[in-house]
Amino acid sequence: MIIKTLVENTSVSHDYKNEHGLSLYIETGKHRILVDTGASGAFAENAVKMGVDLTGVELVVISHGHYDHGGGLKTFLSINDKAKIYFSGQAFERHYAVSPFGGKRYVGLDPTLLPNDRFVFVGKYLQLGQGLELFSHVKAERFVPASNAYLFRESDGALTPDVFDHEQNLIIEEDGQTVLVTGCAHKGIVNILEHVRRLKGYLPSHVVGGFHLHNPSAFTNEDPATAEVGAYLRSTGAQCYTGHCTGLDSYQKLKSIVGDNMDYLSGGRQITI
């Protein structure tokens, strides 16, 4: 399996655009998958430079209803005319970030993209094909990002705390490996992994995506939770590739705890599993 980071907050060189967002292209023996589209069309520009043909993507998973993961959808739809796009059922709810310094801003998906007969809205669980599973509605039990307190959903004209049931995660199984792909892990990466343990009876061999240990609204890190999350991740033995909302400071802390099993996913990077 090959995973290419099409866009992330950083990039491996100035040849690639970077932005606050995430987009991963994943090629398995059977599937060509796009997980998230970043915040803009930058993922598509980087894809050309990385030799990724987006017209060949068969399915897209949008991890959750935030602009930094679905902001490039309009660009994707203009390039690719066949792939189905899988969202969790609540992905197009109106989502807001409220700044601790005052003011709110819309951070949801573009509602003008609706309706679209290529969009598929998923419930709590879906087997997408052999070795591909989507799940959401993870129980937020421990090490839930404190920054979720700044994130809201609008219902009946009022803002209520976002409970992130619009967040889904992807499991890919191939050649004896189990890869968990997260978007932002707003439900908490430990809770998402424990959900996989209950679902499959075992933990993944690889974890790829954002772990949300940085708060972009308050410019703070999840401390001391990051150290405890790091100890948990180390105990799983899983190889982790993270970036985006994990935050660079929190990544360094995770790296100091987890060691070789923790690596960074910059834009322009390719990994082979």
- Eight-class DSSP state of 55: G
Residue of the chain from 8, 19, 36, 68 that contacts Fe ion (CB under 5 A):
68
Residue with Cβ nearer Fe ion (184 or 262): 184
Phi, psi of 251 (to 5 degrees): -60, -45
Size of the site for Fe ion (CB under 5 A): 4
For residue 93, which of 145, 155, 19, 47 has the smallest C-alpha distance?
155
Q: Please give the residues from 234 up to 263 whose contact with Fe ion meets the rule CB under 5 A.
A: 245
Residue of the chain from 184, 193, 233, 262 that contacts Fe ion (CB under 5 A):
184
For residue 79, which of 37, 18, 109, 31 has the smallest C-alpha distance?
37
| Window 139-178: contact mask with Fe ion (x via CB under 5 A) | ----------------------------------------
- Nearest distance from C-beta of residue 99 to Fe ion, angstroms: 15
Decide if residue 66 touches Fe ion (CB under 5 A): yes
Residue with Cβ nearer Fe ion (238 or 245): 245
For 122, counting Cβ atoms within 10 Å of its Cβ (0-12 exposed, 13-18 middle, 19+ buried), the class is: middle
Query: Can you say whether the dihedral through the CA atoms of 18, 56, 135, 197 is positive or negative?
Result: negative
3-state helix, strand, coil in the chain (%, to 5): 25, 30, 40
- Near Fe ion by CB under 5 A, which window of 36-44, 68-76, 138-146, 219-227? 68-76
Binding residues vs Fe ion (CB under 5 A)? 66, 68, 184, 245
